[in-house]
Amino acid sequence: MAENGMQTFEQQAEEANLLIDVRNGCFIFIGACTVVVLAMTANFLTLQPTALSRDFLIFSVIVCSVTIICLISLLARSQPRIDVLVLFLLCVGWVALGSWTTDIIAHIQCVSLSGQRIQTKTGSMSSEVWCREMKTILAFSWTTFAILTIKLVLIVILVIRAVSQGREGIWGGSMTEVPWFNQFGNGGPGMGMGTGMGQGNQFGQYGYSNLGPYAQQSNYAPSTGRPAMSQYAVSDRYTQQPYPTRQAGTYQSGPNQYTVNQAPGHAIVISGNGSAGGMPNITQQPGMMRA
């Protein structure tokens, strides 16, 4: 049983990397696009063709350089709130670069420039080559902006889903703690309820172990980490003073027993005197039970 619990833990740990794999793949693709734009812009900055303003080239180099630095930092370690902030700023930079490039080159047909040349700092270059390189910068700029926007929206959706499932501290946790869609039920590995910090993958959403034989003893569903419906057998002999039941088990002090389905997060309160054969007064009150 313990071996099966360990296998479940390993499988959950592998699934938890799904969001990280998607995130890292997007960042690598964005990094490749950024390097292409940076290389072409740096080449234009060296040649300084008269058709391009120096301000555009400097802005492009700044956007690409900042993007590379941010991606490396986010790949090393990050939190959801940091990812959202950085991705938003990068989206602003790339949409500005894409719009500026569109304003320069979108209305020009490169084929019509065949055989023409433009002046540069070191001489001249083919106008058609310049046009095609600018079209490439345009395409990669808008592609990078689109990927950044999709990634930003995806992270926000996943974090909001986690918060709605009781993990209020997820914004300050690690990106590895953000579950993918429909993974781990209502929570993810490595976090207690509302802590926002990793507590080890052996704990479920409510801070209780959900692995191996312990799952059967904790009255918590292994797949979701939520309290399971417990059944309590209670004796009919009670005092007049009400008292809450605190632990799962069978309570019997007479021939009659009553089965009570406990609602999650509620305590069972028993009052009345059932010694005469009558049914005791059994109610449930909201509140966390303590062992």
Tell me the pLDDT tens digit for each residue of 150-178.
999 998 998 888 888 887 788 888 877 88
Least confident of 74-78, 182-186, 229-233: 229-233
Dihedral (CA of 198, 199, 203, 206) sign:
negative
Q: Where are the beta strands (DSSP E) in the chain?
A: 117-120, 123-126, 230-235, 243-244, 257-262, 266-271, 281-286
Radius of gyration of the chain (CA): 31
Supply 145's token pair: 């902006």
Within a 13 Å sphere around the CA of 212, how many CA atoms are in the beta-carbon half? 13
3-class secondary-structure state, position 129: helix
Least confident of 115-119, 240-244, 287-291: 240-244
Whether the CB-CB separation of 209 and 218 falls below 8 Å is answered with yes
3-class secondary-structure state, position 100: helix
| pLDDT given at position 207 | 37
Whether the CB-CB separation of 60 and 97 falls below 8 Å is answered with yes
Which has the higher per-residue pLDDT, 287 or 137? Answer: 137
Least confident of 78-87, 128-137, 176-185: 176-185
| pLDDT given at position 3 | 46
Whether the CB-CB separation of 196 and 173 falls below 8 Å is answered with yes
Q: Is the pLDDT of residue 195 over 50?
A: no
Give the Cβ contact number of residue 124 at 10 Å.
13
| Identity of the residue numbered 44 | F
Give residue for tokens 């019997």: 252
What's the length of the chain? 291
- Note the pLDDT tens digit of each residue in 79-114: 888 999 999 999 999 999 999 999 999 888 998 888
Q: Residues of 241-266 as b/e, b for ≥16 C-beta within 10 angstroms?
A: eeeebeeeeeeeeeeeeeebebeeeb
